[in-house]
Chains A and B, each alone.
Chain A
């Protein structure tokens, strides 16, 4: 058992921190970038590709680097520290993750190769209006006519769905189950309406009307298992990203308490405030522990174990993230309410991450279903 990074992992962290810090260490820069479409910096995307970051999770045959979950977690944490707007989570971890898990060798080489090279942005169109956080598709349906497939229905919100060059779309299969399909950005019968989200991200309504699509992997195969696992891994990586953001929030808050003067003294003279900062630290460290653990479960565990770890870490991040975020604003006072100041936007981003893949209450509901099936939880007994 070991919770420390090895030398290569430290080097990766420092390299990513350097690159992302240069781009967004000054928060104003992030603010400018997200003001305009596509909501991130295409040049920065290319730099990430050059560093090998966009191909990190994928095997070398697929044009990637073949790194493990810990490395991907490191990248997510660093992106979270500066809330860098590049769609690593949505495009590489989620959409790319599904292609890697379910695509044919040719699909993987083509789609992931272009993604890793920075030539293409992927989006996973999965959420459907009126439905929350499941692995199955319902209202978008797939139809088959001989060897060709079409999709019909609406997906929303789709992260980076307007900018994406290729969409990975989940759909209910004619024979039951959920399949996934590759849809070109310029496909016939595809309409996309993009919009900004409150945290400076981008989402879209994606409407499909008998849109031609290529089945991911073997045609007609129910992929809901793969989709569920990729969503679980994405949850864990979102938790890494949230952890990075929480670290920045706590750091900003302690700096502020030491510098802001009221009543003739700096705010850290008021114990009522320092104690609240201590509680933020407590939430942060507890979250950090679960994030590290869940990240390690990805490579060590079965899909069921990964699912459980994803639910547990998401629950902790939901509770801990809300606590740290809300207190960060409160302890800053009015300044944190302004858009020029970074704290509020970090809290907005944490809120988005909390709601993209299942919030705390959702995880409690899920975990409650099986709570009677075991006695005590033992993270070392696996």
Chain B
């Protein structure tokens, strides 16, 4: 056992830090650091800056833009990116459909989609969940029926994140209703401008519009857009959701926000002549959170250090579960630090209340999602108790 990064890895880390803090637009990074919402164009710009430097999809196979880095380097890349306030590459593209096409796609699909996916020339949406298929994804009902060279798709997807920006959507559809539910599912890539496809916004509890319903009425999809085997969609979905859990613990970003919380607490009066950071209770809460984050970060490092010899470390299941809890806990701390100012989410630019205090509650409300999507925390506990503990 040894604590230090090797010299090469240290240098790698310094390079990443240098790149992220100097090459990505200051304006975009400030937006992330201050907790404001990124625009569509900012997300695209950031990813293209990364892609131009070979830093958008380092975990893909090398022939499609991957870098062949160790797990540790991927971790350092990811941490430094978050620490610098650089938006991580769009997960739907970089962590979900990209690796799926690289693994299961036809040669034509790889040529057609992978470069555009890496560069965010195509914005992908994820069309898995349905009103009656959430945690129990396999009970999905959207159908695809073969008609000559096409599939005809009917049904409804929901919770489609940023579907309003989506150019294409990767979907799970039922292609055989007669067999056991997992066995009759396929994956289709669907152009979101296809006739019969309609995106309807859903408003969330933070007042924002980040998710949508996607309706399919006789949408015709070329047969060539099937990914992998017919009725083999469940295997692909499991592969994809497995990837989704890698790098899910947003340690770097949460650490940055906690550091900012400390800074803000230093600048916020407690109304009695001191600052919030003088309050022993505030200090204690920060220390406990820092410590839990430290344990999480070290667990992430243990996991990546171990992954070099193939099999995933069992503790990786801890990362999503604890990572989202801490992300939520830090957002909760921010609201509490803002105090009464946290109520003023609707105040305009002429408000005397600080900017940050006005955004913290929507963020806190929005982040309740983190323990629900991508396999809810209950599902994570299921994985730990069944697969790891054998219960």
Name A residues whose Cβ lies closer than 8 Å to a Cβ of B. 1-5, 9, 70, 250, 254, 257-258, 268, 271, 274-275, 277-279, 281-282, 285-290, 292-293, 295-297, 300, 312, 315-316, 319, 364-365, 367-368, 371-372, 375-380, 382
Contacts and interface: CB of A to CB of B under 8 A. Distances in A.
Contacts of A258: 390-391
A316 B295 contact: yes
B59 to A, nearest CB: 19
A282 to B, nearest CB: 5
Interface of B: 1-6, 9, 13, 72, 83, 255-256, 258-259, 262-263, 266, 277, 280, 283-284, 286-288, 290-299, 301-302, 305-306, 314-315, 318, 321-322, 378, 380-382, 384-386, 388-391
B291 A312 contact: yes
B389 A375 contact: no
B6 A1 contact: yes
B389 A254 contact: yes
Given A1-B2, A285-B314, A364-B284, 6 more contacts: A1-B5, A296-B3, A367-B291, A379-B298, A380-B301, A382-B4
Contacts of A290: 291, 294-295, 298
A296 B298 contact: no
A-side binding surface: helix, strand, loop or mixed?
Answer: helix
Nearest to B266: A372
Contact of B1 (A286, A292, A368, A372): A292
24 contacts: A1-B5, A1-B6, A1-B72, A3-B302, A274-B381, A279-B381, A282-B321, A282-B384, A286-B322, A289-B296, A289-B298, A290-B291, A290-B294, A290-B298, A297-B3, A300-B3, A312-B291, A312-B294, A316-B295, A371-B277, A376-B83, A377-B294, A378-B255, A379-B297
A274 B298 contact: no
A254 B296 CA distance: 23
A287 B291 CA distance: 10
A376 B388 CA distance: 32
Contacts of B4: 1, 300, 382
Contacts of A371: 262, 277, 283, 286-287, 290
Given A2-B2, A372-B262, A377-B293, A289 B299 contact: yes
Given A1-B301, A376-B259, A70 B294 contact: no
B318 A285 contact: yes
Contacts of A368: 280, 283-284, 286-287
Contact of A1 (B305, B314, B381, B391): B305
